[in-house]
Structure 1
Amino acid sequence: MCASPAFADWKKHESPRFELYSAGTDREARDMLIELEKFDYVLRLFMGQDVTEVPHRKLPIYLVTDSGLGTIWPDVEDRIAGFYTSSDEDIFAVATRGDNNHTLKHEYAHHFMLADFAYPYPGWFIEGFAEYYGATEFKTSETRIGIPDANRAAALNYLSWMSMSELLSNRPMAKARNADSYYPLAWLLTHWFLGDATRRQQMVTYLHDIGSGTDSVTAFQNATGLTPTDLRRTLRRYMGGRVPYSILRTEFPEFQIQITALPDSADDLLLLGQRLKSGTTEENRQSTLEEIRRKAARYPEDTLALLVLAHAELHNGRDPAKAVDILERLLLMEPDHVEALQYMARAKMDLADKAFEADEYSVAVGHRNDAQSALRTAYAADDANYATMLLMALNRTGEPSYPTENDLEILAIAYTLAPQLGQIRLTYAAALLHHDRNAEAIAVIEPLVNNPHGENPAAKALLLRAKGLTEADIAAEEEALRRKAEEEAEEGDPQTPPPATD
């Protein structure tokens, strides 16, 4: 007589576009998934996309308590309701119970934009888009889109505004005067564009012009007929009036949801596994490893426990040989376990690097071949996994022939599967540049450079190479922007009451 398997409180709930991991009630998980599916539907509808299309990869989301959030991110700041992260190991979001999902919808809007649009959008629009659509509310008979944010409006009432030239520039300037008004102004400008049918069409023209290579300030003037000074006055008047939002009445399709119980080990190790993927401080590295060793020992024959333990030994313990031993046990139980095969490849690549450093060339080549073999097996099990494709390319980066046309094809597939991942964009753009495909490299890397969430020096360096520019050229552009900002500052910055809503 066989014992029944033990199951954790955790379950995986799958809809067409999302995977939600939760230890709460099925109703709670279902309600969140349906709201997110509706949100994706609205984004596709408003951006002219096929509403029935599903992504290459479902976005994993972990619905947690505050303590669960702390398990994944030990150094999380107070008042953080969740977060989104992308790495070469996973792209996932975390949301806390009881939140209104605004943070999750905001982050998903970023995720959606990077997946579905090819233009190198200016930084202000990247953030404004997420702010505008992230406020979407779903009522029984209607959907409210673009509801004004009272906090953003209040901030614009007391902050001194940055110059419109700097706001409109393709990427945010960290040293811009009054930079703390950047996000509220990005929100307001997006509202202004989307609050009127004529301006919506102007926005389409503006974005197409940017896509053809025109700088953002010039493209704005071409599309709207407004100078930066005109825009400043226009936004002041718009803010003092009634800021509209849209009401959508539609019948959403029925979204099918499947539920799978997770093994008993998930209670102890599921969230710790995500901590390993999202990174931790050096101070937490050893304590995390010790905690995982202790908890994994309770489940010696469990694949999830073995996977998390091997990952911890590889990254936190920095012991690829020990990780290989654990993964070999796991793969005996489940030979086609894709994530285990990927970690096996990573461990073998680390061992190859060590062998190269020790001048053991034949040993290193053997480890590289083992890594490639593991990745071929992973690909056979799942041919639409971005991590497998990226690792295939990275495993060849030390070869004299890299990057071949086949390497480019592999990276192109990885990019198609996970355009949200900066490392894929960087690796693919560098390979394109090697083959003098500069225009394609610019299209791949520029969205990463324009991202308002922080400068990426590596991406910026690649973009300069692709465009044939130097740091001096960029410094000259920034100096010209500063001069424009000073000219606008001479116009004054009259204060305006916060807007009413309509």
Structure 2
Amino acid sequence: MRFRILAGLLAFALSPTAARADWMQASSEHFVIYADDSERDISRFSEQLEQYHSALEFTLMRSPAVPSPSNRVTVYVVRNQNAVRKLYGTDNKYIGGFYIPRAGGSLAIVPRVDAGNGVADFSMVTLLHEYAHHFLISANAMAMPRWLSEGAAEFFASASFKKDGGLMLGRPAQHRAGELFYAKDVKVADLLDPTEYEKQEKRSYDAFYGKSWLLYHYLTFEKARSGQLDKYLDLLHDGSSMRDAALEAFGDFDVLEKELDQYLNRRRMQAFNLPARLIKIGPIKVRRLSDGEAAMMPIRIRSRRGVDAEEAKALLDEAREVAARYPDDPAVLSALAEAEYDAGDNAEAIAAADKALARDPSQVNAYVQKGYALFSMARDADDPAQAYKTARAPFVALNHRENDHPLPLIYFYRSFANQGVEPPPLAIAGLIRASQLAPFDLGLRMNLATALIRLGRQREAMIALRPIAYNPHGRGLANVARAMLARLESDPEWNGTDMATLVDTGDEGEDESNAPSSP
């Protein structure tokens, strides 16, 4: 897929010649993992991620619907942290892994993880942190203040796995200890009243994550504060401002600050100790990738991460070389179709996708890439209505195979919107359903909000916009959402007539739905 990234990807540590035949795939209810590892280790890793999901369900008393196969989180395990940073597009030493939320294609990229028993290592903590975000958004569409979102993710990511299948959540966040004691402090008042925090000049790394974890941990376990976090959430849900909700629920900020200082210096802290009998997970299937899939895997990872035009051309040469060696492997052909599409070769992408589907009609990515290519060609077609009808066909076929895959629903809507034709009610209903299936995709939410505004459904649009506006990783798109909310609050009948002006207020709103997030 085409997304802007830095040219540093050209130096990515993996190459087709480095791929070995022992690439494995572990498939479970909520995750798909790819790793060049042993069957035992990838199976244990998959088991731990499912145990973590089950623990989140039990602790938070929420059970998001089981995702369709293509809407699971795909985890790519690469060689080391250096490879992760090159894929991310940075040399930031604090990047230990990252997550990109996308409808029908959410992914995480992490270095090798120690899936042994005991306290999670840094790579695992990073992944657990990002999956906590994914779970919380999937389980509750309510917008969360940044401190609460990050504090909760840090809280749950501080986990340890037991040999008998149990685990602990909410352990002291040792990986934030140095930050809490040595980084620039962030006051409780700054967390609970973000307008004050945003006024400060940011010159160095501060203790935002650590202090957010500390506040969440304290409110969870301190008996004197029992029920206050729930009250805070109820007040936010009822429309109170962040500051007012915090003052009413928690009281004086200075008192809370002093209590947190004392809490941090306690010698012992509580945690949730969940026995194995409370952890329920489904079956895990492990298979060895074919030689062709293994050879294509480094290309596939880079393509899924996102490539710019220059990188796409270079990657296509590599993909064609692998495909020449494995011309009958449907997974290889499906990946080739993606590389062809990324490079702008629509006809070649369609041809590769058709070859893949002729050999294996279950190749989901082949339907998607063929659909993308046909949509691209439809933009310049002499008969747009017929072209977009043709472009819908691969997505319709995919919908028949996987009814809850969000992409067919999204592209059914776009087949009308891209023509400038008012989408029928069925298309709007599909877009709403796609957003329900993938609430973590901010770009999808924004598309839905825009459509609802133009249809005169402003109240529903505001519900869709709030999670974008307050998403901690929303950046430019969050700015646009906040501007749209402000406009709707001042003019409840606004129908989006000057929406382009508001969109221009976001620095990089166009690509934020696919921007990686990392703690």
Interval containing the TM-score (normalised by the shorter chain): 0.7 to 0.9
Secondary structure, aligned partner of 1:54: coil
Contact 1:193 1:200 in 2 (8 A): yes
The answer to whether residue 164 in structure 2 is matched with residue 149 in structure 1 is: no
| Structure 1 residue 87 displacement after superposition | 3.2
The answer to whether residue 255 in structure 2 is matched with residue 230 in structure 1 is: yes
Q: How has the CA–CA distance of structure 1 residues 71 and 228 changed in structure 2, closer, same or farther, with 3 Å as cutoff?
A: closer
Look up the match of 1:84.
99
Contact 1:337 1:378 in 2 (8 A): no
Moved over 4 A (4+): 67-72, 170-175
For 1:389 and 1:35, how far apart are their aligned partners in 2?
Answer: 32
Look up the match of 2:151.
128
Q: How has the CA–CA distance of structure 1 residues 198 and 234 changed in structure 2, closer, same or farther, with 3 Å as cutoff?
A: closer
Q: How has the CA–CA distance of structure 1 residues 169 and 425 changed in structure 2, closer, same or farther, with 3 Å as cutoff?
A: farther
| Structure 1 residue 107 displacement after superposition | 0.9
Instruction: Select 2:111's aligned residue among 96, 104, 114.
Output: 96
For 1:172 and 1:288, how far apart are their aligned partners in 2?
Answer: 46
Secondary structure, aligned partner of 1:354: coil
For 1:275 and 1:114, how far apart are their aligned partners in 2?
Answer: 26
The CA RMSD measured in Å over matched residues stands at 2.9
Look up the match of 1:481.
none
For 1:170 and 1:405, how far apart are their aligned partners in 2?
Answer: 39
| Structure 1 residue 127 displacement after superposition | 0.6
Q: How has the CA–CA distance of structure 1 residues 166 and 81 changed in structure 2, closer, same or farther, with 3 Å as cutoff?
A: closer
Letter aligned with residue 482 of structure 2: K
The answer to whether residue 46 in structure 2 is matched with residue 22 in structure 1 is: no
Report Cα offsets for 1:458-487 as digits up to 9, x if no partner.
33333334433799xx9xxxxxxxxxxxxx
| Structure 1 residue 404 displacement after superposition | 3.5
| Structure 1 residue 62 displacement after superposition | 2.1
Instruction: Select 1:322's aligned residue among 341, 348, 351.
Output: 348
Instruction: Select 1:119's aligned residue among 134, 142, 145.
Output: 142
Instruction: Select 1:389's aligned residue among 409, 412, 417.
Output: 409
Report Cα offsets for 1:427-464 as digits up to 9, x if no partner.
11112222333332222222222122351233333333
Secondary structure, aligned partner of 1:180: coil
Instruction: Select 1:73's aligned residue among 87, 99, 117.
Output: 87
Look up the match of 1:58.
72
Report Cα offsets for 1:377-423 as digits up to 9, x if no partner.
11111111112222222222134443432222101211121111112
Q: How has the CA–CA distance of structure 1 residues 186 and 307 changed in structure 2, closer, same or farther, with 3 Å as cutoff?
A: same
Q: How has the CA–CA distance of structure 1 residues 347 and 55 changed in structure 2, closer, same or farther, with 3 Å as cutoff?
A: closer
Look up the match of 1:431.
451
Look up the match of 1:285.
312
| Structure 1 residue 23 displacement after superposition | 2.8
Most deviating of 157-166 and 267-276: 157-166
| Structure 1 residue 258 displacement after superposition | 1.7
Secondary structure, aligned partner of 2:341: helix
For 1:279 and 1:175, how far apart are their aligned partners in 2?
Answer: 34
Contact 1:122 1:169 in 2 (8 A): no
Letter aligned with residue 468 of structure 2: L
Aligned 1:155-194 pairs, distance under 5 A? 155-169=179-193, 174-177=198-201, 180-194=206-220
| Structure 1 residue 71 displacement after superposition | 11
| Structure 1 residue 229 displacement after superposition | 3.0
Look up the match of 1:265.
292
For 2:450 and 2:336, how far apart are their aligned partners in 1?
Answer: 34
For 2:238 and 2:110, how far apart are their aligned partners in 1?
Answer: 38
Contact 1:396 1:402 in 2 (8 A): yes
| Structure 1 residue 254 displacement after superposition | 5.7
| Structure 1 residue 426 displacement after superposition | 0.9
Q: How has the CA–CA distance of structure 1 residues 80 and 181 changed in structure 2, closer, same or farther, with 3 Å as cutoff?
A: closer
Aligned 1:282-431 pairs, distance under 5 A? 282-315=309-342, 317-335=343-361, 337-355=363-381, 360=382, 362=383, 364-431=384-451
For 2:323 and 2:331, how far apart are their aligned partners in 1?
Answer: 9
Look up the match of 1:480.
none
Secondary structure, aligned partner of 1:395: helix
The answer to whether residue 167 in structure 2 is matched with residue 139 in structure 1 is: no
For 2:281 and 2:363, how far apart are their aligned partners in 1?
Answer: 32
Report Cα offsets for 1:234-287 as digits up to 9, x if no partner.
322322334623141422346422223332211111231232122134553332
Letter aligned with residue 410 of structure 1: G
Q: How has the CA–CA distance of structure 1 residues 370 and 72 changed in structure 2, closer, same or farther, with 3 Å as cutoff?
A: farther
| Structure 1 residue 79 displacement after superposition | 6.2
Contact 1:122 1:171 in 2 (8 A): no
For 1:111 and 1:419, how far apart are their aligned partners in 2?
Answer: 9
| Structure 1 residue 25 displacement after superposition | 1.2
Look up the match of 2:273.
248
Q: How has the CA–CA distance of structure 1 residues 199 and 42 changed in structure 2, closer, same or farther, with 3 Å as cutoff?
A: farther
| Structure 1 residue 318 displacement after superposition | 1.3
Long gaps (5+) in structure 1: 1-6, 475-502
Contact 2:84 2:96 in 1 (8 A): no
Q: How has the CA–CA distance of structure 1 residues 451 and 240 changed in structure 2, closer, same or farther, with 3 Å as cutoff?
A: same
| Structure 1 residue 111 displacement after superposition | 0.7
For 2:30 and 2:139, how far apart are their aligned partners in 1?
Answer: 14
* TM-score, normalising length: structure 2: 0.80
Letter aligned with residue 411 of structure 1: L
Q: How has the CA–CA distance of structure 1 residues 186 and 71 changed in structure 2, closer, same or farther, with 3 Å as cutoff?
A: closer
| Structure 1 residue 163 displacement after superposition | 4.7
For 2:104 and 2:54, how far apart are their aligned partners in 1?
Answer: 28
Instruction: Select 2:44's aligned residue among 19, 27, 31.
Output: 31
Letter aligned with residue 348 of structure 1: L
Contact 2:292 2:329 in 1 (8 A): yes
Contact 1:89 1:277 in 2 (8 A): no
The answer to whether residue 232 in structure 2 is matched with residue 210 in structure 1 is: no
The answer to whether residue 473 in structure 2 is matched with residue 460 in structure 1 is: no
For 2:427 and 2:442, how far apart are their aligned partners in 1?
Answer: 18
Identity %: 26
**The structure with more radius of gyration:** 1
Secondary structure, aligned partner of 2:416: coil
Most deviating of 326-335 and 98-107: 326-335
Q: How has the CA–CA distance of structure 1 residues 332 and 254 changed in structure 2, closer, same or farther, with 3 Å as cutoff?
A: closer
Report Cα offsets for 1:50-94 as digits up to 9, x if no partner.
49x634443222233229945982745456432211235611122
